[in-house]
Amino acid sequence: MTKTIIKIPRSLFAAALEDLARPHRFAYERVGFFSTKCSTTKNLTLVHCIEYHPVADVHYIRDRSVGARINSAAITEAMARCTNSGVGQIHVHTHGESSGLPNPSTVDRTELPGLIRSLRNVSETNSCGWAILSADNAWLSVVLPRNNVPIERIAVSIIGSRMVVSKRIPCRPKRFWLTQQSFFLLAERFKRQSFLGPESSRIFSTCTIGLVGLGGSGSHANQQLAHLGFECVVMSDGDRVTATNLNRTVNATTADVRRKRSKTDLAERYYRRVLKGARIVNRRTRWENAMEELMACNIIVGSLDTFAARSDLEAFCRRHLIPYVDVGMDVIQSGAFHEIVGQVILSMPGKPCMRCMGFLTDKLLSREAQSYGVAGGRPQVIWSNGVLCSAAVGIVVDLLTGWSGRNQESLYLNFRGSDLSLTQDPRLEHVIKNNCPHYPLTDAGDPAWSRL
């Protein structure tokens, strides 16, 4: 059976709620539409909400039997968006709940499926449906591409800070915990991190984190996610552990080098020791070969070797509306001494990307392309990898739990090894309020080709 996840960027979610809360001259409530595009694979369909469209005041009809009724012009506009822009439409309204999963009313169930059938007739290759929003969740009924049966039990993910990942996400925690771990252990295990919120254990057992690169940096992130209790991880790395990895890859041993174990196998071994019931997808290959598994992730943490690879992974994450946390470090000559430099970047779909932040530049990528084959192995040390990955895991936890209350959707932290400082890059404040021109939300989903 195909898994389905609906993704709504928080900026659109907030815009919709703000619009729907506005009073109308005579209608009791307002409605709007999300435009949607899909990412589809054999076993997974992601439905991305990419734009919000309010319904103009003049398109409401007086009807005391329902909260809001819109005229044919509003529906024609929605249909036109389907045909002209190749998108689907999701009809949205709210019942005013402040939190939790809203429920559809009898009127909703009677009236809205007919509207969706009409929209569906002009948008067979995209997803159409209807949704009810609460302040922090959404109930949806959608018809998927090339399918005529509406589905309702769908995982919803609100992308932003704080992220919301609904309970019905496919990667469920196993019942293993309840059967094989003692109740005492279950209750005590996460006691010291209870400040992360009453929902944190549920969130950690529900979310899927992608780890791309499990060498010096990724092995730290892997270790910390296991201890925090993240039960679903996708690991991807095509390398096997060598003697040069032993100075920084946590948990790697000389026996692993002798046996030429893959880095993901080491990561899985550690993870299972800490969190026995974890659900791990172990892909001993480059991330490009694990795209389907990574598409299902809620957040991806990347520790890649090159700037070009970072750029490609960020493009992938943007296409599928996945927040991307990038970690990297380098050692440079600084006068007679050395300096360790590094970065932790949070690249949120719709918000400034690594190019907007000035981290990835044509000059940098060009220089890297020119030095191809002569750069050799880059210097790496364990303590700086540890600092950077601890920050990355901290960003992941804050995104999901919102424990700090800062709700930061973009981050660019610079690490300097000589004074062990981690400071915000000054360039970020100049771009943080801008939407990303390189990866607009409208480019999400399967690539749209226009015939020439």
Instruction: Write down the least CB distance from residue 353 to another protein, Å.
Output: 8
Instruction: Write down the least CB distance from residue 267 to another protein, Å.
Output: 22
Instruction: Write down the least CB distance from residue 315 to another protein, Å.
Output: 5
Instruction: Write down the least CB distance from residue 289 to another protein, Å.
Output: 8
The binder of another protein chosen from 262, 311, 347, 380 (CB under 8 A): 311
Instruction: Write down the least CB distance from residue 170 to another protein, Å.
Output: 21
Q: Count CB atoms within 10 A of the CB of residue 73.
A: 12
Full DSSP string of 371-417:
TTTTS-SPP--HHHHHHHHHHHHHHHHHHHH-TTS---S-EEEEEET
- Reply yes or no: is the peptide bond before residue 284 cis, omega within 30 of 0: no
Q: How many residues does the chain have?
A: 452
What is the x/- site pattern for another protein, positions 321-360, by CB under 8 A?
A: --------------------------------x-x-----
Instruction: Write down the least CB distance from residue 316 to another protein, Å.
Output: 6
SS3 of residue 307 by DSSP: helix
The nearer residue to another protein, 279 or 286, going by C-beta atoms, is 286
Is 204 one of the binding residues for another protein (CB under 8 A)?
no
The binder of another protein chosen from 103, 254, 361, 421 (CB under 8 A): 361
Residue type (1 letter), 252 = A
The binder of another protein chosen from 136, 305, 312, 425 (CB under 8 A): 312
The binder of another protein chosen from 58, 372, 374, 405 (CB under 8 A): 372
Instruction: Write down the least CB distance from residue 211 to another protein, Å.
Output: 18
Find the binding residues for another protein in span 421-450 (CB under 8 A). Answer: 437-439, 443, 446-450
The nearer residue to another protein, 362 or 419, going by C-beta atoms, is 362
- For residues 142 and 391, is the Cβ–Cβ distance under 8 A? no
- For residues 104 and 65, is the Cβ–Cβ distance under 8 A? no
Rg (alpha carbons) of the chain, rounded to whole number: 23
- For residues 230 and 209, is the Cβ–Cβ distance under 8 A? yes
- Count of residues that bind another protein according to CB under 8 A: 34
- For residues 398 and 404, is the Cβ–Cβ distance under 8 A? yes
> Which residues neighbour 113 within 8 Å (Cβ) at sequence distance 6 or greater?
130, 141, 150
Residue type (1 letter), 373 = G
The nearer residue to another protein, 34 or 439, going by C-beta atoms, is 439
Residue type (1 letter), 157 = S
Is 292 one of the binding residues for another protein (CB under 8 A)?
no
The binder of another protein chosen from 77, 239, 288, 425 (CB under 8 A): 288
Chain centroid, CA 163 distance in Å? 8
Instruction: Write down the least CB distance from residue 445 to another protein, Å.
Output: 9
- For residues 143 and 391, is the Cβ–Cβ distance under 8 A? no
Q: Which chain residues interact with another protein by CB under 8 A?
A: 286, 288-289, 291, 308, 311-312, 315-316, 318-319, 353, 355, 361-362, 365-370, 372-373, 437-439, 443, 446-452
